[in-house]
A and B are shown apart, each in its own frame.
Chain A
Amino acid sequence: MATISSNLLFIAFILYLISILFYGGSIKSKNDSSEKQGTNTWGKIAVLLTIVGFVSQLGYFITRWIAAGHAPVSNMFEFTTFFGMALVGAFIVIYFIYRTTLLGLFTMPVAILVIAYASMFPREITPLIPALQSYWLHIHVTTAAMGEAILAISFAAGLIYLVKAIDQTKASKQTFWLEVVMFSLVTVLGFVAVSSIFSSMGYHEKFNWVDKHDNQVTVEYTMPAITGPHEGKLLTTNGFKPLVEMPAFINAKKSNTVIWSLIGGLILYGLIRSVLRRRIAAALKPLVKNIKLDFVDEISYRSVLIGFPVFTLGALIFAMIWAQMAWSRFWGWDPKEVWALITWLFYAAFLHLRLSKGWHGEKSAWLAVIGFVIIMFNLVAVNLVIAGLHSYAG
């Protein structure tokens, strides 16, 4: 069952990947009939591929659920994969409201990055600790992920808006920050590439080091150590000697991974730039020329409107119900809880700015981008850096 499950996930991943080509095609071949609404053959195939991929991933989800005996949303790999699936699902829903394949061209790469990122984490089926043994695990986590996914669609739409609206002929604050967003996406790809390369090489090196309580411990690196642990002694022969030694209170292994991902990101970004010979956002500009700004602005806003109640329900209300049962208090100011509250406050501010202060268009698009950054921070940094009750990384 577990093998079937991972095969289905792989199929879904490949289908998503192919669908991007068709989304690209559907935009390119649309050039002549700019005013006409509706989807051409390329677009129809793209959407079909997406749906088949989604069904396949749903198959992964169900089979893994059967194999594990609990919903596969209980560790970093499972949760992030589910988030990717929810993103695709949210796109399919929004697509059938607004019928624009351009949104797919921007959403699918994000979903693929999310799933690829997920698969860099241990993929074993993990048993549930007592606090997680509750049907609220399924309800809370899936609803929260769906809310976040719908909110993420507003990011994709916001990105389209910015690519179209920002003047790329001269460098400005806007072009810089939009390029930072593009670079961050490339860096995720960099992380995936670097991790895959070293893991396929089977790279390992071990250190003895001294932690902040002066205990002798060993740590195993899966990438060559640029930043070595505090007073680390390399145990592996022919291992890579660290260039810098980190103080004891910094997790040298994680900082090493971050540095490698940045290196990977920079190399990839450099390659892309040297091929394109201009900013990534500038290169994407021709793709978005037929879309109306008002239209993407509305998709972005609508996604927030649809996603906000779902997020509230999943990430706050269901979370509180479960917390009351598992930890005897519905709210405990755990970092993950606080960041869910921060996300919620942010989107509340977003809605108020839009409704009352008239922050439409570009401002609203930037807010959608920041919102996604907060969601990603909650997913990545809060799990891996700030340890708490929700920490999947341990």
Chain B
Amino acid sequence: MKDVKCECGHVNPHGTVLCEACGKVLDEQEKNNKELLDMRYEGSARRSQTYNKTIIDKIWNFFSSVKVGIWLIVITLLTSTLGTILPQEMYINLPPDVYYEQEYGWFGKLYYQLGLHDLYGSWWYLLLIAMIGISLVICSLDRVVPLYKALKAQRVTRHEGFLNRQRIFGVTEHPEEKDLAVIKNHLHERRYRVREENGDLLAEKGRFSRWGPYVNHVGLIIFLIGAMLRFIPGFYVNEDLWVKEGETAVVPETGEKYYLKNNQFILQHYDKNKDKTFEKAIEQAGSVVKNYQSNVVLYERVSKNLPGEKPELKKLKEYKIKVNHPLDFNGYSVFQSSFRSELKTMSFVLANKKTGESFGAVNIDLEDPKATYNLGHGYSVKILNYFPDFEFDKNGEPSTKSRLPNNPAFVFSMTTPDKSKPETSFVAIKQTIEPFGENTYKMAFQGIETKNVSGFTVRKDSSLWVIILGGIIFMIGVMQGAYWNHRRIWVQNKNGQVWIAAHTNKNWYGLKREIETVLLDTKLVIPEDQQQKENLEKEGV
């Protein structure tokens, strides 16, 4: 491909629309046009506009198109809305194949079948995000390099056809010599960098705002890479951990290095008598939780990790884990995320059914029940069978669903001095079965004790700093692009006249105000906004 040499002597890469140095229109089709110049990317030669032969060109051109980028954004936007119609999979507490149909009927079923219950984790949603990522890279590269070159190569003296086709343009017929000096002064005051060649001026400021979009794109790409890093094993830990009060548990995914003891779980509600300000609101809501807290101790294992051996622990710190105040250590964070109450003990008394006379209490630790409870005077109770989470199985036999004492049931054998054979009784919550005929004695339910179990989320996210970095760079880029403007003012001598033209990438109103102040105290004609003039003519004002 041939480079294009402009009449000013500058050699432009193939595909250049406006000469990088003098701004002369090089594109044949554009040459005789009288309309305002399209100043985007300075009319530089972009790869996507120049080559379209190989498959790589085609892919490049596809992704370098802002139109494609916008479509990707719009499609992502529209599909994202679908995921908010019904709760996503992670916010429901039933199996999804049951939940959606049960809660939302045929619509819920359809929603589930279409895979919308896990929309944001679906392959096609991730593909959309990935395509946006590719579009970001290629769009930016396609533009930033030629733009940089063009802005670097620009000379002060510009071609006439460049100047009079700028949006802001004006001619002063009989300029005064000293006005130029006044302008220069004003421009300096307004922090322009002024370059001078053959008596022509180019005042420029805020060029760095042109890089804003590219900086923010870099930030976004870093952010997306950060979000991808969590798929690398070891980078991302997200585990649930339940610890009962008084117990110590190993923190998962730490190589059994850290242990957490839960001393106490605290649940506090607002008290309408104490928190007077909230009295009305509390009355309306019934009760409002004030605090979820677990008082914990963090231990580190100091002994070698040998199976079967009790680990030797060193206390690291005591901490009160609350919502918004996780416990942080060595890259891990432990969050207070949930709690539940569990049955701890159940107590019964052995009593005579008729007289109600009792012969001693039995206090059963539901996690570790004793086999026999001796009540003295010849009375004793044996636990023949224990079902912590009782249910009848398929064959109608009593069995247990889990080892958690959610619904405890017992088969007691009651030995009393007046009976030769012990009596057997099956006792579950709210039911008693006497399998071998009518009993004289019963196990009368007395009460339960519960204990709290704290639910923690253990998280380690080594990709977080990448995401933070991406976020910071993005914000810098966005602000750079949004809060600064790239303004250029050309003041040039052409045929004994002074031509003033100006360009900004945005905020034309501000530029016009600025030119007015720059030209203050001079006889130079204030340049006009040619686009506005055109529009006003169209509007018929």
Contact = CB atoms under 8 A, between A and B. Distances in A.
B324 interface: yes
B177 interface: no
Contact of B77 (A329, A332, A342, A386): A342
Nearest to A68: B277
A138 interface: no
Interface in B491-541: 506-509, 529, 531-532, 535-536, 539
Contacts of B478: 308-309, 312
Given A68-B277, A357-B70, 6 more contacts: A98-B509, A126-B278, A249-B105, A330-B467, A333-B88, A352-B66
A335 interface: yes
Interface stretch (B284-292, B308-316, B414-422): B284-292
B330 to A, nearest CB: 16
A335 B80 CA distance: 10
A95 to B, nearest CB: 14
A90 to B, nearest CB: 15
- Size range of the chain B interface in the assembly: 35 or more
25 contacts: A122-B284, A124-B284, A127-B290, A292-B536, A294-B508, A294-B532, A298-B508, A306-B483, A308-B478, A309-B475, A309-B478, A325-B325, A327-B337, A328-B326, A330-B464, A330-B467, A332-B90, A333-B88, A333-B120, A334-B91, A338-B120, A341-B80, A355-B66, A356-B67, A382-B84
Given A129-B288, A301-B506, A313 B281 contact: no
Contact of A131 (B80, B324, B529): B324
Given A130-B291, A130-B322, A305-B482, A69 B277 contact: yes
B74 A326 contact: no
Nearest to A134: B324
B26 interface: no
Interface in A104-162: 122, 124-127, 129-131, 133-134
B465 interface: no
5 tightest A-B contacts by CB? A130-B323, A356-B66, A328-B335, A335-B84, A127-B278
B462 interface: no
Contact of A212 (B103, B292, B483): B103
Nearest to B103: A212
A150 B104 CA distance: 38
Contacts of A292: 532, 536
Contacts of B80: 338, 341-342, 345
B291 A127 contact: no
A305 B531 CA distance: 21
A348 B105 CA distance: 37
B431 interface: no
B34 interface: no
A154 B290 CA distance: 40
Interface of B: 40, 66-67, 69-70, 73-74, 76-77, 80-81, 83-85, 87-88, 90-91, 103-105, 120, 213, 238, 270, 275, 277-278, 280-282, 284-285, 288-292, 322-326, 333, 335, 337, 457, 459, 464, 467, 471, 474-475, 478-479, 482-483, 506-509, 529, 531-532, 535-536, 539
B535 to A, nearest CB: 6
Given A69-B277, A127-B278, A328 B324 contact: no
B30 to A, nearest CB: 16
B536 A298 contact: no
Interface SS of chain B: helix
A124 B276 CA distance: 12
Contacts of A325: 324-326
Interface residues of A, number: 60
Interface of A: 2, 67-69, 98, 122, 124-127, 129-131, 133-134, 212, 249, 292-295, 298, 301-302, 305-306, 308-309, 312-313, 317, 320, 324-330, 332-335, 338-339, 341-342, 345-346, 348-349, 352-353, 355-357, 382, 386, 388, 394
A312 B289 contact: no
A328 B457 contact: yes
Nearest to A374: B77
B70 to A, nearest CB: 5
A292 B532 CA distance: 9
Contact of A124 (B85, B103, B280, B474): B280
Contact of A309 (B67, B333, B482): B482
Contacts of B91: 334, 388
A357 B69 CA distance: 11
A293 B535 contact: yes
A165 to B, nearest CB: 8
Contacts of B475: 309, 312-313, 317
Given A328-B459, A339-B84, A302 B507 contact: yes
A337 B94 CA distance: 23
A249 B529 CA distance: 59
A133 B280 CA distance: 20
Contacts of B90: 332-333
B333 A352 contact: no
A283 B184 CA distance: 49
Nearest to A341: B80
